[in-house]
Amino acid sequence: MTRINTNVPSMIARSNLTRTNRELDVRLERLSTGLRINRGADDPAGLIISERLRSNIRGAEQGIKNSERASAVIATTEGSLTEINELLNSIKALVVEAANTGAFSDDEIAANQAQIDSAIDSITRISNTARFGDLRLLDGSLGYQTSGIATSAIAKTNVRAASFAQGDSLDVNIEVLNSAQQGGLFLRGDLPTPGAAENGTILSTVVVEVRGPDGVVSLEFPSGQTFDDVVEAINRLTPSTGVVAELINGNATSGIAFRSEDYGTRSFVSVDRLNEPTSGSAWDTYKFADSLAVGDNDPFPWSTVGTDLELAVRDQGRDVQAIINGALASGDGLNVSTASSQLSLQMTLTADFATRAGEISTFDITGGGSLFQLGAEVVAQQQVNIGINSVAATRLGGTLVDGNLEFLESLKTGRENSLANSKERGNFTAASRITDSAIDEATIIRGSLGSFERNTLQTNIRSLALTVENLTASESIIRDADFATETSLLTRAQILASSGTTVLGLANQQAQSVLQLLG
């Protein structure tokens, strides 16, 4: 049947040609943009996944940039610390040189002191001027702020890292688990018999070797010499041995306590008789039995002879053992330290606090430090907190000297530990110890920053670079156009468009054939 009002073949041809032209437009768009997905209609699920991947890629790329900038900050900081290390080493050399008083005049020592003053001022100046842009690096701006520290319990605190993921501040709780101890030996003073006239004196000539962490000396004490004289003789040589002596309970008839100056396993005391004992010499030293908690509440308790004591010529100290925020901390003498993802710090405890098992002290870290965002997500697991304390001379080299915390600043002219005062006392040990502590602190900061750069920043950059590479490859698979496929489909669409146009023309011509019926 022939109709002219409705040309169905033409409609079919036009519909197919429209679809072909739409297909042709898609192929041309993909080949011109290089993307398989140009709008949501192309692949809704693929668009969602690829946009998430793009977000991850951008975050990882920014994490790389953040790490590279952090590395630049660390390098700048370490450059300044290198100069401070050089100045500290020169101060150490000057102190050691000045201690050679037999070969140096007062004027030469004064010249050394002038150099030390200049070096200390330079250290403080570097601390105040080291910057990265507007970021102050070594003046304490990047250190942590603390509050509530009991100076009777904690002499010095160095917070290296703290996480504030749980709040605006971090509580720190320290509990002494096992007390710190000095090495301790005891010599009885109630011999030959309690109440005898000879109590508190040397009963026969004795030659003893006194050894400590700083060295060894030998001393001879004749018969009849009092324990007061023995104590004075040993204490005169304390700088050479690291051993001090005192009368038990301040009474010669109670005996003598020999102890190491410092606390911890590195400290010890040894008092050994060298000559053969004679009858009635009664030179026997004792130490507390290992089963007794020596040092708890009193470094030298003197209760019952023979019950808690055993014969010994050597005794070693004990490091303090403490729990910090529920975790066992490392002890070294009076120093404790802990390192975790939440808290990393080092503290020097006071002797009064560290020698009392069960004692508890708390303080708060209220803020500060420097936070580095190293990952693609702003979460605690992808952030690193570190603190850089001030390295000014007033904060560097904190060392306990005669129970007082002394800093590098105390070595300047007119201060307690200056070379002039050391010369008057005949003891340069304190100045040397403070300098050594300052060198250790600066070196530890450099080492910590170097470790952070090498083990955290550099590995993070490499890891994120691989992440970007793999995510980009995945995003490319989903979103990028396959040119081989698209050109093949373009050729097909072109052929169909050409044939469709021809067919549409034929369909339109077919309707005109009805004119032949009209003659």
Q: Which one, of 120, 109, 267, lies nearest residue 180 by Cα? A: 267
Residue 371 β-bridge partners = 385
Q: Are strands 321-324 and 370-373 parallel, antiparallel or unpaired?
A: unpaired
The answer to whether residue 82 scores a pLDDT higher than 90 is yes
> What percentage of the chain reaches a pLDDT higher than 90?
27
**pLDDT tens for each residue of 18-58:** 888 888 888 888 888 888 888 888 888 888 888 899 899 99
Q: Map tokens 């054939």 to a residue.
A: 513
Higher pLDDT, 508 or 435: 435
**pLDDT tens for each residue of 124-164:** 999 999 999 888 988 888 888 889 999 889 988 888 888 88
Q: DSSP readout, 287-320?
A: EE-TTS-TTSS-SS----TTTSEEE-SEEE-B--
Higher pLDDT, 278 or 239: 239
Pick from 44-58, 256-270, 367-381, 407-421: least confident: 407-421
**pLDDT tens for each residue of 226-235:** 999 999 999 9
**pLDDT tens for each residue of 452-506:** 899 989 999 999 999 999 999 998 888 888 888 878 888 888 888 888 888 878 8
Report the interhelical angle of 44-98 vs 459-479 (nearest 10°): 170
How far, in Å, CA of 427 to CA of 99, rounded?
8
| Contact in structure between 147 and 363 (CB atoms under 8 Å) | yes
Residue 291: per-residue pLDDT: 43
What does the pLDDT average to over 253-264?
Answer: 89
Residue 69: per-residue pLDDT: 93
Which of the four pLDDT bands, split at 50, 70 and 90, describes residue 195?
A: confident
Higher pLDDT, 347 or 300: 347
Q: Are strands 206-212 and 243-247 parallel, antiparallel or unpaired?
A: unpaired
Residue 421: per-residue pLDDT: 65
User: In 213-254, which ranges are E strands?
Assistant: 215-221, 243-247
**pLDDT tens for each residue of 153-192:** 998 888 888 888 777 888 999 999 999 999 989 888 887 7
Which of the four pLDDT bands, split at 50, 70 and 90, describes residue 281?
A: low
The answer to whether residue 270 scores a pLDDT higher than 80 is yes
Report the interhelical angle of 44-98 vs 106-129 (nearest 10°): 170
Higher pLDDT, 306 or 92: 92
Which of the four pLDDT bands, split at 50, 70 and 90, describes residue 258?
A: very high
Which of the four pLDDT bands, split at 50, 70 and 90, describes residue 519?
A: low
**pLDDT tens for each residue of 282-327:** 777 878 765 444 444 444 444 444 456 788 889 999 999 999 998 8
The 8-class DSSP code of residue 177 comes to E
Kind plus residue range of the DSSP H or E element containing 482: none
Question: What is the pTM (predicted TM-score) of this model?
Answer: 0.74
Mean pLDDT of the chain: 84
What does the pLDDT average to over 68-77?
Answer: 92
User: Cα Rg for the chain, rounded, in angstroms?
Assistant: 41
> What percentage of the chain reaches a pLDDT higher than 70?
92
Residue 1: per-residue pLDDT: 53
Residue 280: per-residue pLDDT: 59
